[in-house]
Amino acid sequence: MTPLETLQALDIRATGEARPLSGGDIGRVWHVPTEHGELLVKHADSDALSAEAEGLEALRDAASGLLVPEVVGLLEGALVMTFLPPTRPSKADQQRLGEGLRKLHDHTVDEHGWHRDNFAGTTPQINTPNNDGRVFQREQRIMALARRCRDQGRLDAALYERLERIAHALESWLPNAPASLLHGDLWSGNVHFSDKGPALIDPAVYRHYRDVDIAMLELFGTPDAAFFEAYWNAGAPDDWPRRRALFQLYPLLNHLHLFGGAYLSGVRAAAERLPER
């Protein structure tokens, strides 16, 4: 099905050509002007698109002040949403991003996880709920992906055993805490600065420690100082370097699983910053 055929199936008339956009790692994406405004059409695996659509709605419902594309239609293998024209961010945009994420993370419950599994890239993301965040982090994040990487031959026995000790030592230093609503895959490419303000795209939502989104933002880039001033309005946690290392383990393991040995040194470096007992 072409993007125009997708729109026709939703009784939406295009008023111009479909223009392919770059950056879609798990599917193909087009920008299409239509009678209902500018839309984005995404073609990918149906289960992944269903999870993405639900995540977008959850983020919109949280009313954080951040923009989130509106889901216009969901079909087999296709997701249609509003298009937000990109722009270069200002200091005010960085501040709005920090304030918005803080408000998003203020939406908390006791239970870590989500009512359904979804995807971290193309990797199935297991979200089985648990009231203890340490148990959730150990079973559904660190060890779930450490086993995948070990079984692929991308994680040697010594490092796997070290990760296992780290995972079982979490209760010795990491307090349990309420679970925040997270974007879940918040690298810099999923922060979209539009001409209407900062937006969140391509989520993999679940509920867990609020640190997860911030650690991910710092993994492949350094957010502007104005962002941190707005987000850490009461100051970062005293043990932030250690917490950051912990919550970067999962995306590093996922990149090792998906892309191979270039990420092994990152996994090893993060592990070296974490206690094993």
**Residues with a known catalytic role:** 185
- For residue 56 the two structure tokens come to 């977008």
Amino acid present at 197:
G
CB 87 within 8 A of CB 11: no
What sign results for the dihedral spanned by CA atoms 233, 237, 240, 243?
negative
- Residue 75 has phi, psi (to 5 degrees) of -125, 175
What sign results for the dihedral spanned by CA atoms 250, 130, 45, 8?
negative
Give the C-alpha separation, 43 to 21, whole Å.
12
Write down the residue that tokens 């990109």 correspond to: 86
Give the C-alpha separation, 233 to 229, whole Å.
6
Beta bridge mates, 30:
20, 41
For residue 55, what is the enclosing H or E element? Answer: helix 46-61
What are all long-range contacts of 264-272, with beta carbons under 8 Å and residues at least 24 apart? 264/154, 264/155, 264/159, 267/155, 267/159, 267/163, 268/159, 270/245, 270/246, 271/159, 271/162, 271/163, 271/166
